[in-house]
């Protein structure tokens, strides 16, 4: 089972808005050196809503190429169209991604039965292992634990990213899913508690700027080393909070630019981080000893 810090990696872009593959390769190398267990490409943090289908595919293929099998590649392949989600997932499988991450359909507000049929149809169309992604704060639709349990018996639906930050809900899920079903949180702020309770890792925004610390946090929390996990998490608390002062990935792309890792260009309708938050992000980076 894949465990640990899985970075929801940003999509670097040049100042003219084009994809910056050289910067992406450099970020991936940094993550591998820092202990990141997996690269989640073209998720929410990767600006999946504003990359074209062609760019989406290029990013997945490039990530598989750059990782060279050294860490897992989890390809964001979700869509609010089941047919499009199948197309993207088939593509990810064809170029060698290790997993797909499939978000609950957004905007069209399916029922629980609709969500079940959506994910079942994707799973039946491919062999690649699928990780479900529930983030009701963005999709409006909320994948209920009962529906996750129904989906967990499908052989290639192997896990879930739960971004609700609801630890009671997580505890209920841990007690009901099969033993080989992976549970990841999508909320950095509650990730330590989630893993100490039995979760298998985090699909992290914070890991974009603090990959080594997030890898350490995950290792100690999964091992049940509460004292060390808390100490590491204390260094990261400000980042967990302040990387969301504006909509993700606005702050984290600004932070990476501040660190000299890439351009901070972000596509409309998102805009650059408001100047009033610059010192807040700098302070959070200093608290984590990153700058």
Helix (H) or strand (E) segment spanning residue 234: helix 226-242
Phi and psi, residue 142, nearest 5°: -125, 115
Tally of helices (H runs) and strands (E runs) in the chain? 12, 8
Give CA separation, 7 vs 36, 142, 202, in Å. 7, 23, 8
161 given a catalytic annotation: yes
Pick from 224, 226, 206, 225: nearest CA to 214: 206
Task: Check: CB of residue 213 under 8 Å from CB of residue 291.
Answer: no
From the list 57, 66, 99, 161, the catalytic residue is 161
**Given the residues 133, 184, 253, 261, the one annotated as active site:** 133
Distance from C-alpha of 117 to C-alpha of 61, rounded to nearest angstrom = 28
- Residue 133 falls in the annotated catalytic set: yes
Catalytically active residues, by annotation: 133, 161
């Amino acid at each position: 089972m894949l465990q640990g810090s899985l970075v929801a990696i940003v999509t670097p872009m040049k100042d003219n808005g084009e994809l910056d593959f050289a910067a992406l390769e450099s970020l991936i190398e940094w993550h591998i050196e820092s202990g990141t267990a997996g690269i989640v490409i073209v998720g929410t943090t990767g600006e999946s809503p504003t990359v074209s289908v062609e760019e989406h595919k290029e990013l997945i293929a490039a990530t598989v190429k750059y990782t060279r099998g050294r860490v897992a590649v989890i390809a964001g392949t979700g869509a609010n169209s089941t047919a499009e989600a199948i197309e993207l997932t088939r593509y990810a499988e064809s170029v060698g991604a290790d997993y797909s991450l499939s978000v609950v359909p957004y905007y069209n507000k399916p029922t629980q039965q609709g969500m079940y049929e959506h994910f079942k149809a994707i799973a039946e169309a491919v062999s690649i292992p699928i990780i479900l992604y529930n983030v009701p704060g963005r999709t409006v639709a909320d994948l209920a634990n009962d529906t996750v349990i129904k989906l967990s018996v499908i052989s290639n639906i192997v896990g879930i990213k739960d971004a609700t930050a609801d630890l009671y809900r997580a505890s209920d899920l841990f007690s009901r899913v099969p033993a080989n079903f992976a549970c990841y949180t999508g909320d950095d702020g509650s990730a330590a508690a989630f893993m100490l309770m039995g979760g298998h890792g985090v699909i992290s925004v914070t890991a974009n700027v603090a990959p080594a610390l997030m890898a350490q946090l995950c290792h100690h929390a999964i091992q049940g080393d509460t004292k060390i996990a808390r100490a590491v998490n204390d260094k990261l608390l400000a980042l967990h909070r302040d990387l969301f002062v504006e909509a993700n990935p606005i702050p984290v792309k600004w932070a990476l630019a501040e660190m000299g890792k890439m351009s901070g260009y972000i596509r409309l309708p998102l805009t650059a981080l408001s100047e009033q938050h610059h010192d807040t992000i700098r302070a959070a980076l200093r608290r984590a000893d990153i700058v």
